[in-house]
Amino acid sequence: MIYCYNEEDNSIVYNAYKDIAKFDSVDEYAIHRSVNMKIDYKKYYSDFGYRVNGLENVEDTEEVDTYITILSVGEDEYKRFISEIGENYEECKNGAILIDDYIHYGDIKKEEGEVYNLKAGDTIEGTVDNKKQSLRIVAKTDKTPMGLEEINSCYGYLIVNDEYIEKLRDTVEAALMYINSNDTEKLGEEIDEYKKTAGEELEELSFSNYDEYVESN
């Protein structure tokens, strides 16, 4: 996993991730960029969604801000992901793939369910930066793209392609980059060399090697 943040110009981080994606030691990668869309949960949450988000006893007159994350993962990973779930790129590129399976660990038992009363073909509406947005759900799945395998969110995700997320907001932060590598040691060396020539804008670029964690454990 690679992380960097630049408050002044996040496009620098995104371009760095795209440079790293070209390294010989990179087999597969995902670049996560996201925006949060504010939604009216009363329109979309299932009974399970109400419960796991602690909203069963909220009065109708109470205002509760709820959001769903719209996430792009890079075109290569997006195409791999839609192939894995048996969908077609042309049919998916102008909509969103909903992931809303959630495991809730209660005091007595573990529950698994779907947060939303939504299916393929439905539309979800909300606001991004106070601007109205409407996304058609082209597919629904319990599978996840690279980087979300261990994440258990009670708010769900809408997976879109790179072009779509750029239409939602002028500036989209590049949060994390995930890589499957045939040689993680070489990858680490290549990233270190890249940082030396990249300039001070990328001084905070950090690389976490999960192979090392596994070996040490």
What's the pLDDT score for residue 146? Answer: 95
Can you point out the beta strands (E) in the chain?
A: 2-3, 26-39, 66-72, 96-99, 101-105, 110-114, 123-128, 131-140, 157-160, 174-181, 206-207
pTM for the structure as a whole? 0.91
Tens of pLDDT along the chain (217 residues) come to 776 655 556 788 889 999 999 999 999 999 999 999 999 999 999 999 999 998 988 876 577 899 999 999 999 999 999 999 999 999 999 999 999 999 888 777 788 999 999 999 999 999 999 999 999 999 999 999 999 988 888 999 999 999 999 999 877 877 789 999 989 999 999 999 998 888 887 878 888 887 666 666 6
Q: Name the amino acid, one letter, at 24.
A: D
User: Residue 151: how many CB atoms within 10 A of its CB?
Assistant: 9
Tens digits of residue pLDDT in 155-189: 999 999 999 999 998 778 777 899 999 899 999 99
Residue 36, SS3 per DSSP: strand
